[in-house]
Amino acid sequence: MRKKMLKIVAVLLIFVSGMATTVLTETNRHFEILKNIEIFANVYREVNTNYVDEIDPGQFMRTGIDAMVGSLDPFTNYISESDIESYRFMTEGKYHGIGAVSAIHGDYVTITSIYKDQPADKAGLKVGDQIVAVDGASAKGKTMDEFNLIIKGYPGTSVDLTVKRPGESKNINITLVRGEVDVQNVPFHGMVTENVGYIALTVFTKDAGRNIKNAFKELKENNPDLDGLILDLRGNGGGLLREAVSICNIFIPKDELVVSTRGKVKDWDRSFKTMGEPFDLEIPLTVLINKNSASASEIVSGVMQDYDRGVLIGQRSYGKGLVQNTMDVGYNSKVKITTAKYYIPSQRCIQSVEYKDGEPVEIADDLRAKFTTRNGRTVLDGGGVKPDVLIDAPNKGVMKGLTEENLIFDFVTEYCLNIDSIKSIENYHFNDFNSFVNFLEDRDYKFEMDSEKLLKQLSKKAQEDGFALNGELSALENKMRGSKRQEVLKHEEEIVAMIEKEIATRFHYQEGQIRMGLRNDKEIKEAISLLNDRERYNKVLGK
C-alpha cells in the first residue's frame, strides 16, 4: 500500500513540476517580449531625437516593421493605411480608385492596362499614357507607392491628370472621377472547338465560385456537344480560400475534403469540405497552371489531381501552401500573419521549402516526399503542384529581356497610333515583323539577357581584383550584341504572339488579351488534344 502511495506521489510531483516548468517558460517568454518591446521603443526614440539628419518617423518605423516581418516568410506583411485598397481588392475584387494598372516607365508612371467601363476608361485614359502631373503637382520621379497614395480615393471625388500621350505634341488634361472599381474575376469564357469549352479565372475574389459555375452552366446550355472543359488558372495568384472550396465543389461530390489547415494554435486548425451538391462529376477536365499560379490556384489544381478528377497541364506552380490571417494593429493598418500551412486531400503540403530573393527555389523531385492520389498515382510535396503533362515555358532569354525593358509594350504603343481598331480578334494577324526588328535596331537592341548581366558582373569583379580583361570582355559583349538579332529572328513566332496579345489588349481590354492568346497557346492545344483522346486522358489519370 505504501509503495502504491509513493508511486502516486511521485507521479503528482512530476505532473506539478511539468506544469510549473510550462508556466515558468511562458512567463519567461512574456518577459522577453515586454523587454524587447521596451528596448525597441527606446532605440526608436533615441535615434529619432539625436540622429544627425532629419528622419521621417513613419518611414523609419515602416523600415523596421518590414525588416521584422520580412525575416519570416514572403507572405507575412504589414499593410499600412496606404496599402489598404490593394488588400481590399484581393479580398473583395473591388477597390476605390481609377480602374487602371500602371508601372514606372522612365521618369513617369505609365498606364499599362485599363479595365473596361471603369473610371479610367470612361475618362478617356489610354494604355501608353504617361502621368506627368496630378492635381497640378509634378509626378516626375514618383514611386508607385507615392503615386498610388495620391491617385486612389473615395468614389465621387475627382482628380486632375496631366497626360503625355504618344503621338500627341501637347499634353492632355483629363479630369477623372474616382469610383468603386469592380474587376471581373472571370473575364472570358467560350468554346475553343465545337466540343471543348474554356473558362479563365484571374483571381479568387468574391463570387469566383458562383461565376465559374454560371459560366460553365451557360456553356452547357448553349453547346449540346460540349464534352470537355479547360479551366485556366495560369498567372492566378490566389485569393479567398472559400472560393477555392466553392470551385472544387463544382466538380467533386459533397462532403469531400478539400483542404485542412494546421498551425501552432491547435484551436485554429480546420478542415474544409465541399458543402453542396456538385454541378458536374463526369465532364473530362483539364486545368492549366504555371509558375505564377499560387495559393488558392494550387488548392483547386491540387485537389483535382489528388482526386484524379482532372489533368493538370503546364509548368510547376509557385508553391504557396501557407495560410494568412489579418489582424488590426491600429490607425487603419493591419498585419497579415502566416498562421498555418494547408494540406490538400493526399495530405501533402505544396509549400516551397526554400527561397532566394523572395522567390521559391525549385527542389529536385527526388528530394520531395511522395504521396498518392485516389487512383494510386504518385504526387510530390514541398514545392508547388507538378502538372501531369509538362509543357516547356516560353524561351526565357530574349523574351524576358524584351518584356523587362518594355520593348514590346513600347512598339505596340507606336504601332497602334496608325490603327483605329481590330474588328475580329480571331482573324487579326500581325504581319509586319520587320517593323519590329527595325524598331529594335533603332533602339540598338537595348535589352539585357541573363548572360549579359553575368558578363557585366564579371567585368566589374575583374576590375576590382586588378585583372585587365577589357579587350576579351569587349569582344564577348560585341559578339553577344551581334547575336541578339539572330535570337530575335529565331523566336519570331513567340514574339509575334506576344505582339498580337498586346494589340488585342489595347482595343478589347482583358478579354481581348485572353481571346487572342487562345489562338497561339501551346497549353490550350495540348488540352484540346488530350480531351479529344479519351483513352490517353484516362491513362494519365490512372483509370
Cβ proximity of 100 and 125 under 8 Å:
yes
Query: Cα–Cα distance between 258 and 438 in angstroms, integer?
Result: 53
Cβ proximity of 399 and 495 under 8 Å:
yes
- Helices 407-415 and 397-404 sit at what angle, rounded to 10 degrees? 60
Spell out the residues 6+ positions from residue 519 whose beta carbon is closer than 8 angstroms to its own: 426, 500
Spell out the residues 6+ positions from residue 323 whose beta carbon is closer than 8 angstroms to its own: 241, 261, 263, 338, 339, 340, 341, 342
- Cell numbers for 480: 553577344
Strand, helix or coil for residue 199: strand
Query: Cα–Cα distance between 502 and 356 in angstroms, integer?
Result: 31
The catalytically annotated residue of 152, 213, 320, 336 is 320
DSSP state of 426: T
Q: Is 207 a catalytic residue?
A: no
Q: To which H or E segment does residue 162 belong?
A: strand 158-164
Cβ proximity of 178 and 119 under 8 Å:
yes
The catalytically annotated residue of 102, 293, 295, 352 is 295
Residue (of 495, 504, 497, 502) closest to 421 by Cα position: 504
The catalytically annotated residue of 306, 308, 388, 521 is 306
Q: What dihedral angle (degrees, nearest 10) is formed by the CA atoms of 24, 25, 26, 32?
A: 110
- Helices 241-251 and 208-222 sit at what angle, rounded to 10 degrees? 30
Going from the C-alpha of 99 to that of each of 89, 94, 102, 115, 456, the distances in angstroms are: 11, 10, 10, 6, 40
Phi, psi of 160, rounded to the nearest 5 degrees: -95, 120
Query: Cα–Cα distance between 265 and 287 in angstroms, integer?
Result: 34
Residue 359: beta bridge partners? 356
Residue 285: beta bridge partners? 229
Residue type, 472: E
Cβ proximity of 284 and 259 under 8 Å:
no
DSSP-derived secondary structure for 358-406: TEEPPPPGGGS-EEE-TT--EEE-SSSPPPSEE-PPPPSHHHHHHHHTT
Q: Is 295 a catalytic residue?
A: yes
Active site residues: 295, 306, 320
